[in-house]
Amino acid sequence: MLGPGPTTAAPADTDDTPRTAREATIAVEGVLERVLDARLRQARETDALFAHDMARRVAAFTRRGGKRLRTAFVWCGWRAAGGTGDPTAVLRLGAALELLQACALIHDDVMDGSSLRRGAPALHVEFARGHRAGPAGGSAESFGTSAAVLAGDLALAWADDLLTETAFGVPQGPRLHAEWREMRTEMVAGQYRDLNAQAGGSSSAEEALTIAVLKSALYTVARPLALGAALAGADSATLGALRAAGRSAGLAFQLRDDLLGAFGDPALTGKPAGDDLRHRKLTPLLAVAVRLAGTAGDHDAAAVLAPGAGTRAGHTVERMRAALERTGARAEVEARIEELAAAGLRHFEAVAAGPDVRREFAALVERAAGVAPRPAEELV
């Protein structure tokens, strides 16, 4: 169902028109505010309790932000494909992606049992606390989980509504919707492969790569680039080059995220450190460590990285971190990030984009991957 008219953003004022990806990520906040205000008004008209307890929390979670990387890559894809003029549709695409990201994070925290997100309690934790503080009976944890699933669904509905409204208003609407549809399916496939690998205790490098591509690389970089380019009317060659660049850069982003998940500072990442290790989530980092431990005959590392080792308590997580270092897995993944970042730049060179857009893409890859990408020949 389409949302109310007020979500439609007016054409950008000439003086306020963003000219860079950074300016676009700032401008998209205003679009999100208008969209969220309209959705909250609609929610209050539907049901006051639902609006107060759920819609309000989803809006607040979305407003807490994040890196807004998907908005930046949509902008970069649009510019790379020759997009010019009124950026309203580009910014609305970015806002739709930020709402989709809210859905993905809310559901991901439920599946992973994570307690912290964006420096605040995860939504299922917040719902559970509200349940305990009130007169309701039953399990607070069960209530929190169920409510968070619905909250993620609501964010997805808002994202779909915004994408549909935007697609209806531009000639490239069918192409936008096709990219969006593929992206949503890839996200769900990646999440399921992640759950399935964890349940089966997989250590397969191929499985880890498949999950990283489906769950993160395509959704974070490749599809946003393609959405922006499709809006600009890109040809198939441009779309192919951008998808290849996005896949490489997106994998570099995911590998960096894996390292931050294992070794990062929660004060900087906004989420608990060691959660992936505690739950033994299959990541390329873990798969590399298992392979290297086997090759080196490091039985202690192999044992601590194996499925079900100990209870994954704090001391076990520390031993896993030590194994990641000792086997050389951390160093190998760092090197792979550099290679992938360079490959992303190389694929982007096939796009007939100006030097300013190329510099902007390189800066975005550096921001996503945590390393300044260098030409591939310098890494040989």
The pTM assigned to this predicted structure is 0.89
**1 in any annotated domain:** no
| Number of domains the chain is built from | 1
**230 in any annotated domain:** yes
Residue found under tokens 């991957």: 369
Q: Tens of pLDDT along 92-136? A: 999 999 999 999 999 999 998 887 787 788 899 988 888 888 777
Task: Write down the pLDDT at residue 12.
Answer: 42
Q: Tens of pLDDT along 179-212? A: 999 999 999 999 999 999 989 999 999 999 999 9
Domain that holds residue 307: 8-379
Task: Report the CATH number that the domain containing residue 362 is assigned in CATH.
Answer: 1.10.600.10
CB atoms within 10 A of CB 186: 19
**57 in any annotated domain:** yes
**149 in any annotated domain:** yes
Work out the angle at residue 23's Cα, subtended by the Cα atoms of residues 19 and 27, and round it to the nearest 5 degrees. 110
**218 in any annotated domain:** yes
**2 in any annotated domain:** no
What's the whole-number mean pLDDT along residues 19-35? 94
Task: Write down the pLDDT at residue 376.
Answer: 45
Q: Tens of pLDDT along 306-361? A: 987 655 565 688 899 999 999 999 999 999 999 999 999 999 999 989 999 999 99
Question: Which band of pLDDT confidence, cut at 50, 70 and 90, is reported for residue 62?
Answer: very high
Q: Tens of pLDDT along 205-244? A: 999 999 999 989 999 999 999 999 999 999 999 999 999 9
Question: Which band of pLDDT confidence, cut at 50, 70 and 90, is reported for residue 301?
Answer: very high
Pairing of strands 120-121, 116-117: antiparallel
- What is the pLDDT of the chain when averaged over all its residues? 89
**3 in any annotated domain:** no
* Sequence-distant (≥ 6) Cβ neighbours of residue 283 within 8 angstroms: 208, 211, 212, 258, 261, 276
Task: Give the percent of the chain with pLDDT over 90.
Answer: 73
CB atoms within 10 A of CB 314: 10
161 vs 16, more confident: 161
